[in-house]
């Protein structure tokens, strides 16, 4: 495999962009550092905000066109970032490049999210591209360690952090989810395929129905990367919406794994947490943590 990311004749950073703010943040960081950048936003996924940078819109299935465009733009390094949904394969119109690659594509679309994404990375690397993480271009996405808000965790919350960390590690090892919520020293909810926001929503619903009884704010959401997760293309994320949901659900705080979970719209996320008296902490965890 040729590592084109270090070749002077392929200096452009290509960003395959899904939805949300991260693609634009990465593009801005790359441009600020003096790098040439070109975005390849996915139709139906990415927002119009990416159009302030050099770009080419691509549709699901236009694999041949994507590689042609990246070659034309002299792309060497590639970032894959932003939210995407698994496409409706019945609605995809594939081009010749996709047809020629169809056996490979079908083989790597089988399995959990981690398996699929690792195969996507290998697919790009086999064609001479170097895949880098969004956080490698924009370190501010994962910067910080320790308490990020004025509110700090209580002694009871520290026990919830430990239990939530243990549960999220076990979940991640099974490629199920990345987050867990502990209240009163026990795990009360874990993340599945629905995602973190709906996990928090279940807690709010349980409290409304009286299934979780606690006075005042209590409980901690712990989110950490799966042990096998390729952070270049699939870094766990929180943002303002996560904080708002946690406040509405009556949680006391959120803890993320330091350096391995992304904070989107960092300043607004911290501002909302401070306003809602919710603590937000970035913390390193031991890999071997398990239930006692």
| Global pTM value | 0.81
| Residue 157: per-residue pLDDT | 96
Select 142-283's CATH number: 3.40.50.720, 3.40.50.2300, 2.102.10.10, 3.40.140.80. 3.40.140.80
Sequence-ordered strand ranges (E) for the chain: 12-17, 37-41, 75-81, 130-131, 146-147, 179-183, 186-190, 220-223, 237-238, 253-257, 262-263, 279-283
In the numeric block, which tokens belong to residue 127?
């064609």
pLDDT tens by residue, 132-163: 999 999 999 997 789 999 999 999 999 999 99
Select 4-139's CATH number: 3.30.230.10, 1.10.357.10, 3.30.2310.20, 3.40.50.20. 3.40.50.20
CATH 3.40.50.20 domain extents, the chain: 4-139
106-132 burial, b at 16+ Cβ within 10 Å, e below that, comes to eebeeeeebebbbbbbebbbeeebbbb
Regions of the chain where pLDDT drops below 70: 1-7, 86-117, 214-215, 287-292
């Amino acid at each position: 495999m040729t590592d084109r990311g270090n070749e002077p004749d392929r200096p452009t950073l290509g960003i395959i962009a899904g939805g949300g703010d991260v693609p634009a943040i990465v593009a801005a960081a790359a441009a600020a550092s003096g790098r040439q950048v070109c975005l390849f936003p996915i139709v139906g996924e990415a927002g119009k905000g990416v159009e302030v940078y050099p770009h080419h819109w691509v549709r699901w299935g236009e694999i041949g066109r994507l590689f042609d465009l990246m070659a034309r733009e002299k792309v060497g390094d590639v970032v894959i970032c932003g939210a995407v949904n698994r496409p409706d394969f019945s609605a995809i119109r594939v081009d010749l490049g996709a047809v020629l690659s169809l056996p490979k594509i079908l083989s790597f679309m089988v399995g959990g999210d981690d398996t699929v994404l690792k195969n996507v990375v290998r697919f790009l690397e086999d064609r001479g591209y170097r895949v880098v993480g969004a956080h490698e271009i924009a370190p501010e996405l994962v910067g910080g360690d320790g308490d990020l808000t004025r509110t700090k965790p209580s002694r009871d919350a520290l026990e919830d952090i430990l239990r939530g960390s243990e549960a999220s590690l076990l979940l991640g090892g099974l490629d199920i989810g990345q987050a867990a919520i502990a209240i009163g020293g026990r795990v009360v909810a874990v993340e599945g395929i629905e995602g973190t926001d709906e996990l928090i929503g279940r807690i709010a619903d349980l409290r409304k129905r009286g299934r979780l009884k606690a006075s005042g704010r209590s409980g901690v959401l712990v989110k950490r990367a799966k042990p096998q997760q390729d952070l270049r293309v699939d870094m766990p994320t929180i943002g303002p919406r996560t904080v708002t949901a946690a406040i509405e659900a009556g949680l006391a705080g959120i803890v993320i794994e330091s350096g391995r979970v992304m904070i989107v719209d960092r300043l607004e996320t911290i501002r909302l947490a401070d306003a809602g008296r919710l603590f937000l902490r970035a913390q390193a965890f031991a890999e071997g943590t398990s239930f006692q």
